[in-house]
Structure 1
């Protein structure tokens, strides 16, 4: 099921986002919480619409927003991996100790197997960084941003919903 009408997935990790920009505001922020049926995300920018300053402001804001969301997701994932379930602490610590005492040849072999398994089980995003570029709408209020984000469409929408609205 499609998460929203203003986010279009081009390929895994690459999206087009329709934005309705309003330059010249007091602060840069979302103008309204995005809804599934919206045709564009509404964004206010503090920069004036002169010499591309507003476009730069919008791109920087959106990139910072999704970088923050990506770091939050990664922190949550590492916390879940590092904290074993209740009652498994002793087994976990022993297993961790036993794994650290293997000889180096076995570690190299296991590492090669883990890498091949990881490539199969996880989606292969070409880039683990967030990138935002302006595709169309240099001089208009209706803009299309291309977002490279190692996540899903739902992750992007969740990031937009989590931001304070002015």
Structure 2
């Protein structure tokens, strides 16, 4: 029986120097995963490229799976932040055009990180754990999207529902008046 790989987190960096070390590790891992693939990449290679000791790497990440999981979380958060920023800063009055720009951004982000995305999906145990973690982020994200769409497009343009089938784009509960969310952390 194959054992499920451990993807639990290591220590959380508190000092700026420690946070920088974690960034070096994650940057090195992303680069190596993209250049040579997840399977071939070792924690020793990651530590070497990051310029840190293997002990320091293991202090923050118990294994390569934990690094991939953290990269997955960060990738998803970046995508969410970019979408929220696009919605907030858009000058277009046509929601369809804004949604097209958002979809284009998502496609570009996935295309630019194709090897990384493949590594996540090939390692389904990590992808499933990421699904569990992202659930809370998804709720906050879609609440923020709904709030922005309601405020920028629906409140100022009551006829929009007839012209754009919003129910296909956004769940109705996300665009209710009581929804005041708008932050993604």
- The answer to whether TM tops 0.5 is no
Q: What TM-score do you get using the length of structure 2 for normalisation?
A: 0.28
Q: What TM-score do you get using the length of structure 1 for normalisation?
A: 0.30
Q: Normalized per residue, which structure has more helix?
A: 2
Q: Normalized per residue, which structure has more strand?
A: 1
Structure with the bigger RCO (C-alpha within 8 Å, sep 6+) is: 1
